[in-house]
Chains A and B, each alone.
Chain A
């Protein structure tokens, strides 16, 4: 994969992406698809990346993870990546897509909770659940 200057290559896992794609809204699916297409073509712009929080207030713990807000720069959706080596090259690895915050009272998972569960290998049944309506 060749990426543009100022961008990093991204590895998308089809199974993880499909799981999140099925869970989100039509609006979310368009954002996720457009983002994946752009990142697979050009890479992810480094200046869009923010570090993730370890021991965040919502109970998630995402060390060695970074995120983007979508649509950039401050959209309601987010994508979280972890960092790995692939064939000797440093890459961002897709860890989750979803809303940053759910409406009060919603029990659906945020992008941080999705990423936390994948990172800590908590693959519970409710990862398969549909989101509550998103903004």
Chain B
């Protein structure tokens, strides 16, 4: 089984006000009503927490080796 990319281009929006943050538009009705869900992609998570890229090698150099992959996932 191969996971497929989303069939459609999702629209990203940023809310400000009483409810703030990154959201995705997952539905838009003919009258313009939008259905939003929180954006939990790693890009959005990285923006929310000021994260920048790192490697497993860097991590292991600092904290020690992790166990090898066991073939499960």
Contact B3 A50 (CB under 8 A): no
B-contact bits for A104-128, CB 8 A (1 contact / 0 none)? 0000001111001111111111011
A-contact bits for B43-73, CB 8 A (1 contact / 0 none)? 1111011111111101100111011111111
Contact B38 A64 (CB under 8 A): no
Instruction: Please report the number of residue pairs spanning A and B whose Cβ atoms sit closer than 8 angstroms.
Output: 132
B67, closest chain A residue (CB): A50
* Interface: A11 (CB within 8 A): yes
Contact B50 A50 (CB under 8 A): no
Contact B52 A85 (CB under 8 A): yes
* Interface: A79 (CB within 8 A): no
Bin chain A's interface residue count: 35 or more
Interface residues of A in 8-63 (CB under 8 A from B): 8, 11, 13, 15-16, 18-19, 46-47, 49-53, 56-60, 62
Q: Which 7 A-B pairs have the closest CB atoms?
A: A112-B73, A84-B51, A49-B66, A50-B67, A121-B41, A16-B40, A15-B38
* Interface residues in chain A, defined as those with a beta carbon under 8 Å from any beta carbon in chain B: 6, 8, 11, 13, 15-16, 18-19, 46-47, 49-53, 56-60, 62, 64, 66-67, 82-87, 90-93, 95, 100, 110-113, 116-125, 127-128
